[in-house]
Amino acid sequence: MEIAERIILIIGAILYFVPTVIAWRAGVKSVQSIFYVNLILGWTIVGWVFAMIWVMSERNELPTNPLS
């Protein structure tokens, strides 16, 4: 495997798990479930979009001001 193929593979893997990484960084409660949906159904594009929408909808539910 050439270096260009390895770079493409790494970039693809990173892009594949973007919903999981965003959920983890945002502290979403259901990050484990999002990971499984992303892992199992992410390759279908529909599963990836579903995981991303799930992350964004739960992210919007988080309090914006932790002191309130």
pLDDT number for residue 68: 54
Cα gap 68→19, rounded to integer Å: 28
pLDDT tens, residue by residue, 14-52: 999 999 999 999 989 999 999 999 999 999 999 999 999
Q: What is the pLDDT of residue 58?
A: 87
Mean pLDDT of 57-61: 77
Instruction: Report the half-sphere exposure of 43 (CA within 13 A, side-chain side).
Output: 2
DSSP H stretches of helix in 1-68: 3-16, 18-26, 31-41, 46-61
Q: What is the pLDDT of residue 59?
A: 73
* Separation of alpha carbons 39 and 60, rounded Å: 23
